[in-house]
Amino acid sequence: MRIAIGNDHVAIEMKKGIRAYLESKGIEMLDVGTDSPERFNYPISGYKVARLVAEGRADCGVLICGTGVGISLAANKVHGIRACVCSDPYTAKLSKQHNNTNIIAFGARVIGIETAKMIVDEWLNAAYEDGRHQVRVDMIREIEETQHLRAAEEDAQ
């Protein structure tokens, strides 16, 4: 498995910790984040990781900034990306099972490294359940690709 990881200047230590943790499990890591304490604009890492995942050059992605919000917002602008900010392992697990997330994000100012490891473990060990969830994931894709949602427009008539 190959995982892309990215971060901003706020999340260097957590990025290093998560990267080392996943490498210790034999996972190949593509690190596109910064290791410099200079200010680093989080959309750059969000975009880079998102493109690696969207193009199939990474199986999935991990993004870390101060809150996980900005970096996941940037990633979600890339077609095909479903990035979710999580502060707890349960949400991470369900985000994979129900929403088929392909990027997980969290905040270095919000959670500690042990919670971050638990989040990543739950997320990687979970599997998308497909079935009834696919119609909803397809709706998300429809909004992304067309800026419309037929089901909502029919509902409004």
**At 48, which amino acid appears?**
K
Residue 102 beta carbon to ligand RB5: minimum distance, rounded to whole angstroms: 20
Considering only residues 16 through 45, tell me which ones interact with ligand RB5, judged by CB under 6 A.
42
DSSP type of residue 90: H
**At 59, which amino acid appears?**
D
Considering only residues 51 through 110, tell me which ones interact with ligand RB5, judged by CB under 6 A.
65-67, 69-70
Compute the C-alpha angle 26/122/63, nearest 5°: 75
Residue 83 beta carbon to ligand RB5: minimum distance, rounded to whole angstroms: 12
Whose CA is closest to 46, among 3, 105, 86, 100? 105
> Residue 41 or 100: which CB sits closer to ligand RB5?
41
Residue 10 engages ligand RB5 in binding (rule: CB under 6 A):
yes
**At 129, which amino acid appears?**
E
> Residue 65 or 104: which CB sits closer to ligand RB5?
65
Residue 6 engages ligand RB5 in binding (rule: CB under 6 A):
no
Write the CA distances from 31 to 12, 114, 126, 156, integer angstroms: 11, 20, 23, 45
Q: Helical H runs in 55-112?
A: 69-76, 89-99
Catalytic residue among 60, 65, 84, 86: 65
- Quick check: is 98 catalytic? yes
What residues are labeled active site? 65, 98
Binding site for ligand RB5 (CB under 6 A): 8, 10, 42, 65-67, 69-70
